[in-house]
Structures are given as C-alpha cells and as structure tokens.
Amino acid sequence: MKGKAPQQDDNAVRLDKWLWAARFYKTRALAREMIEGGKVHYNGQRGKPSKLVEVNAEIKLRQGNDEKTVIVLDVTDQRRSADQAQLLYQETETSVANREKISQARKTNSLTMPHPDRRPDKKERRTLIKFKYSDSE
C-alpha cells in the first residue's frame, strides 16, 4: 500500500527517545539537540536522532562537564523511575575512572583558586578594569 510507513520492530527505539527514557536528558528535544550538536556518539560514530538503538551498542555522551561511555543493556521508549532507567545501561569501568579523575582534578583546582567572599564594589571594579586594560609598556 502507498502512504504507509514500513512496520518497525517493537524493540526499535530512536536514539533521542532512548536517551530520554534512560534519563540522560530531561526532554527529548534536549536529547535531540545534544545529538545534533555532536555530543553523542553511537558505536564510535557521530549519531543521528533517528538512529535505532540496539542492545550491546556503545554510546558516548556528554552531560555538562562529564563524559560518559555506556553499554546499552535494554531498549525501551517509556520513561520510568531513575532506578529502572539505570537498568537500561551500564557505564564502562574506564568511563567511571576517567570521570573520577576529572572530578578530583576539578576539586583540587577549586582549592587552589578560591572564589572571593563577595563581588567587588564599584570602586574595586573600576580599579580592576584599569589594571586589566592598562598598557604595561
């Protein structure tokens, strides 16, 4: 018949929908945006939102400062609780180790460069601007 889409498997789920169901991103639109922005790689290649997810596929994605590599254990298009969503994938050991290492580096960096207790007032801001843009010749 003309005009009808081909039948898909019951297990066939789009990448953007799976990322949303697995609770990596809050909305499908955000998941789609991240995929199109090159933040998500499916089996080592840049993914497309319409890519069908398969079991045992490797997905590399970015969430804020964290980069995760996960293996797909199950495929679903329904968003459930966080506990059930974590059963859909398993993060690789190297990914966990890298995230821990980067997290530790961020913590030590924040200790060496503490933030001031308050924002500079108007006079201090003007002094900072003069210092920043003065010619040091």
* Residue range 94-129, pLDDT digits in tens: 999 999 999 898 888 877 777 778 888 999 999 989
Q: Which two tokens stand for residue 75?
A: 């495929």
Is the CB of residue 42 less than 8 Å from the CB of residue 59? yes
- Rounded to 5 degrees, what are φ and ψ at 68? -120, 145
Question: Does residue 68 register a pLDDT over 50?
Answer: yes
Q: Sorting pLDDT into bands at 50, 70 and 90, what band is 65?
A: confident
Is the CB of residue 54 less than 8 Å from the CB of residue 36? no
11-52 tens-digit pLDDT: 789 999 999 999 999 999 999 999 999 999 999 999 899 999
Looking only at the bridges linking them, the beta strands covering 66-72 and 89-91 are: antiparallel
